[in-house]
Structure 1
């Protein structure tokens, strides 16, 4: 089962649309592209596997697996990439600026409601990240 993240790159942040089975699940925000530098850049385009993860800080969320030269790339709540993300991806319900959005916790709940039951039933969820202009 595949998620597609269609990105639009901007100088102050990266905005995206997250699709599941061709339908919009939510929007996303990330840091701008800075050559995959840890903690200051969004991750490279490509195909990745998602897994469930739980920590005291972020509670239930997702981890993007096997990102080249990076670790602990997460889908977690955040409404301002520049202030709240260090290379991770935040789901949002709408964009409010470059790398900014709103209602991230609600968007993350929507992702979990849709994807956790599939993962619990043994489905592998992949994430394909693409540029909107390609």
Structure 2
């Protein structure tokens, strides 16, 4: 029987980008960067607040990534490496080690590896993993 595990993403919205803190069971996993809120416009906006199931997705360009399932009016939303939301994101979420400005951060690949390690270990234990954005 699978149980439900929840990652929490607390956001701060800015003109240039959306920054966040991702936690699991009260512990900070990493910071996040996204595009600014632009009314959920595909490829231009961060995704709406809510709860989303995470799932494995395979992509030619990014390889196997964490996908965010059932985002209203959107498709192919991923959690993948990026250090500059405006230049590297099209509505996805990027984990970063440290925030350097609105929608900007450092060492994204390192933060992604840490996040993937956590999420994949939960999946290996047959847990359902959800992302709760607030």
Fold match (TM-score > 0.5): yes
Task: Report 1:1-134 matches (<5 A).
Answer: 1-130=5-134
**Partner of 1:41: helix, strand, or coil?**
coil
- Aligned mates of 1:124, 1:106 — CA distance in 2: 24
- Cα drift, residue 112 of structure 1: 1.0
Deviates more, 1:57-66 or 1:27-36: 57-66
**Partner of 1:91: helix, strand, or coil?**
strand
- Aligned mates of 1:98, 1:29 — CA distance in 2: 8
Which aligned segments of 4 or more residues in structure 1 are displaced greater than 6 angstroms? Answer: none
- Aligned mates of 1:58, 1:105 — CA distance in 2: 12
- Aligned mates of 2:68, 2:81 — CA distance in 1: 14
- Aligned mates of 2:63, 2:31 — CA distance in 1: 20
- Cα drift, residue 60 of structure 1: 2.6
* Contact 1:61-1:108 at 8 Å conserved across structures: no
- Aligned mates of 1:90, 1:30 — CA distance in 2: 7
- Cα drift, residue 55 of structure 1: 2.0
- Cα drift, residue 58 of structure 1: 1.0
**Partner of 2:128: helix, strand, or coil?**
coil
After superposition, what is the alpha-carbon deviation per residue over 1:5-61, rounded to whole angstroms, capped at 9, x for unaligned? Answer: 000000000000000111100000000000000000000000000011222311232
